[in-house]
Amino acid sequence: MTNYFIIPGLGNSGPDHWQTHFEHSGNNFHRINQQEWDAPASKDWIEKIESTLINYDLSTVVLIGHSLGCAAIANWANAYKKTIKGALLVAPSDLEAPRYDFPTVGFDHVPLTKINFKTIVVASNNDEWVSLERAALFADHWGSEFINIGDAGHINAVSGYGKWPEGLEILKRLG
Q: How far apart are CA 8 and CA 70, in angstroms?
A: 8
Tens digit of pLDDT for each residue in 66-95? 999 999 999 999 999 999 999 999 999 998
- Please compute the mean of the pLDDT values over residues 9-35 and round it to a whole number: 93
Q: Are 6 and 28 in contact (CB under 8 A)?
A: no
Tens digit of pLDDT for each residue in 35-78? 999 999 999 999 999 999 999 999 999 999 999 999 999 999 99
What count of other Cβ atoms lies within 10 Å of the Cβ of residue 151? 10
Q: List CB contacts of 62: < 8 A, sequence separation 6 or more.
A: 2, 3, 4, 5, 84, 85, 86, 87, 88, 171, 174, 175
Q: How far apart are CA 165 and CA 12, in angstroms?
A: 21
Domain locations in the chain? 3-174
Name the packing angle between helices 68-80 and 42-53 (round to 10°): 70
> Would you say residue 175 has pLDDT above 80?
no
Q: What confidence score (pLDDT) does residue 102 get?
A: 82
- Please compute the mean of the pLDDT values over residues 128-156 and round it to a whole number: 97
CATH of the domain spanning 3-174, picked from 3.40.50.1820, 1.10.3720.10, 3.90.230.10, 3.40.50.11540? 3.40.50.1820
Sort residue 11 into left (φ over 0), alpha (ψ -120 to 50) or beta: left
Q: List CB contacts of 103: < 8 A, sequence separation 6 or more.
A: 38, 39
Share of the chain above pLDDT 70, in %: 100
Q: Which alpha helices (H) appear in the chain, and where do they start and end? A: 18-23, 42-53, 68-80, 132-142, 165-171
- Write the DSSP symbol of residue 125: T
> Would you say residue 100 has pLDDT above 90?
no
User: DSSP per residue over 134-172, as a string?
Assistant: HHHHHHHHHT-EEEE-SS-TTSSTTTT-SS-HHHHHHHG
Q: pTM for the full model? A: 0.96
Q: What confidence score (pLDDT) does residue 106 get?
A: 86
Q: What confidence score (pLDDT) does residue 158 get?
A: 93
